């Protein structure tokens, strides 16, 4: 599904990712772990096409297509979703208006009729339940006045609505209490299928107690220095990141 080859990326002229190689197949969950500043979020940014990220070298192929040629909205319409580390507050844009526009733009891309208001609201309620987001969203602006936990749940809620093929969750666990963490993880697990894939980016192992990865990669100073099964996460938790520099 996703094939990253020799990816070299810089931000503001500073080289952040040095040489990334990563393959993700459908049905898989990959965890990318690493200390602060190792380039985790930069990798997520490169995948969704943020313009501050400059691709110096390498390629990203997604479902047989050159991903780097696509705009952020085209990537989203083709099924890529990013759960933001810091979801943006957008005063004045209501959740309903925002999400309905998003769903209908994606439906248009798939040559489907737009959803009616009633159908959309029904779908919204359904998905809200799935991720345990109880807040009344109809009158609220996107992320405005949301608590940290609500913001993260809101990301998973949007993911549930948009049903992506490849979901990238950037530090979705940060700022969550244990109950919220379980709810978020539960949401991710329910959405998992053999046709989609998830990349979980995290600093800590604790989210991986609930979302069980098939592969764990350690990103360190812009390079994937180790890839293994889920046991690697536990090893990291015990030893910390220091041992990486020793190896």
Partner 1 sequence: MSDVNILTDIKKELIELYNYNSGQINSNVGLQVNSFREKALSDFNVAGIPDRKNEAYRYTNMEPFFKGDYISEFSHDTFFKINLKEIFRCDVPELDTYVVLLLNGFYYQGNGMQILPENITVCSFAEASIRYPEIFEKYYSQNASTSVDGLVALNTLFAQDGIFVYIPKNTVLEKPLQIINICYSFKNLRIFRRNLIVAEENTKANIIVCDHTLCNRSYLTNSLTEIFANDNSFIDYSKIQNENSLSTQISNTFVNQQKSSNLTTNTITLHGGLIRNNIFVNLNGEGSENNTYGLFLCDQQQHVANYTYIRHKKPYCRSNQLFKGILDGKATGAFNGKIYVNIDAQKTEAYQRNNNILLSADARMNTKPHLEIYADDVKCSHGATVGQLDNEALFYIRSRGISQKEAKFLLMYAFANEIISKINVEYLKERIINLVDKRLRGELSRCNNCNIKCG
Among 67, 82, 131, 219, binds partner 1 (CB under 8 A): 82
- C-alpha to C-alpha distances, 87 to 20, 104, 158, 200, 231, nearest whole angstrom: 26, 21, 11, 16, 30
Give the alpha-carbon dihedral of 69, 73, 79, 83, to 10 degrees.
110
Residue among 41, 42, 128, 158 that touches partner 1 (CB under 8 A): 158
Write down the least CB distance from residue 105 to partner 1, Å.
Answer: 5
Site for partner 1 in 185-244 (CB under 8 A): none
Name beta bridge partners: 60.
4
Residue 226 CB, nearest distance to partner 1 (Å)?
30
E runs forming strands in 38-122 = 53-62, 65-66, 80-83, 90-94
Shorter beta-carbon distance to partner 1: residue 90 or 212: 90
Phi/psi for 110 (5° steps) reads -95, 15
Q: Are 180 and 148 in contact (CB under 8 A)?
A: no
> How many helices (H) and strands (E) are present in the chain, helices listed first?
8, 12
Q: Does 90 bind partner 1 (CB under 8 A)?
A: yes
Among the listed residues 6, 15, 65, 105, the single contact to partner 1 using CB under 8 A: 105
The only residue of 22, 48, 199, 218 in contact with partner 1, by rule CB under 8 A: 48
Helices 178-191 and 117-131 pack at an angle, to 10 degrees, of: 120
96 makes contact with partner 1 (CB under 8 A): no
Q: Which helix (H) or strand (E) holds 109?
A: helix 95-109
For 200, the token pair is 């979980």
Q: How many residues bind partner 1 (CB under 8 A)?
A: 30
Q: Which is nearer to partner 1, 42 or 205 (CB)?
A: 42
Q: Using CB under 8 A, which of 5, 8, 18, 50 touches partner 1?
A: 50
Stretch of residues binding partner 1 (CB under 8 A), selected from 19-27, 70-78, 117-125, 215-223: 70-78
84 binds partner 1 (CB under 8 A): yes
Give contact residues for partner 1 (rule: CB under 8 A).
48, 50-51, 71-73, 76-77, 81-82, 84, 87-93, 97-99, 101-102, 105-106, 109, 141-142, 158, 162
């Amino acid at each position: 599904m996703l094939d990253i080859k020799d990816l070299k990326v810089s931000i503001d002229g500073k080289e952040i990712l040095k040489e990334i190689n990563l393959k993700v197949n459908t049905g898989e969950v990959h965890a990318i772990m690493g200390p602060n500043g190792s380039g985790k979020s930069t990798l997520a940014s490169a995948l969704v096409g943020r313009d501050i990220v400059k691709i110096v070298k390498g390629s990203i192929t997604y479902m047989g297509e050159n991903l780097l040629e696509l705009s952020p909205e085209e990537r989203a319409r083709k099924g890529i979703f990013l759960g933001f580390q810091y979801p943006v507050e957008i005063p004045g844009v209501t959740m309903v208006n925002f999400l309905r526009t998003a769903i209908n733009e994606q439906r248009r891309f798939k040559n489907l009729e737009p959803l009616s208001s009633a159908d959309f609201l029904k779908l919204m309620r359904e998905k809200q339940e799935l991720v345990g987001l109880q807040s009344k969203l109809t009158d609220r602006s996107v992320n405005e006045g949301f608590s940290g936990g609500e913001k993260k749940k809101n990301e998973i809620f949007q993911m549930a609505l948009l049903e992506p093929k490849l979901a990238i969750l950037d530090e979705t666990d940060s700022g969550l209490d244990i109950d919220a963490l379980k709810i978020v993880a539960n949401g991710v697990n329910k959405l998992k299928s053999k046709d989609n894939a998830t990349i979980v980016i995290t600093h800590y192992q604790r989210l991986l107690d609930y979302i069980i990865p098939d592969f764990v990669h350690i990103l360190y100073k812009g390079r994937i220095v180790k890839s293994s099964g889920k046991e690697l996460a536990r090893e990291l938790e015990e030893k910390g990141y220091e041992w990486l520099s020793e190896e």
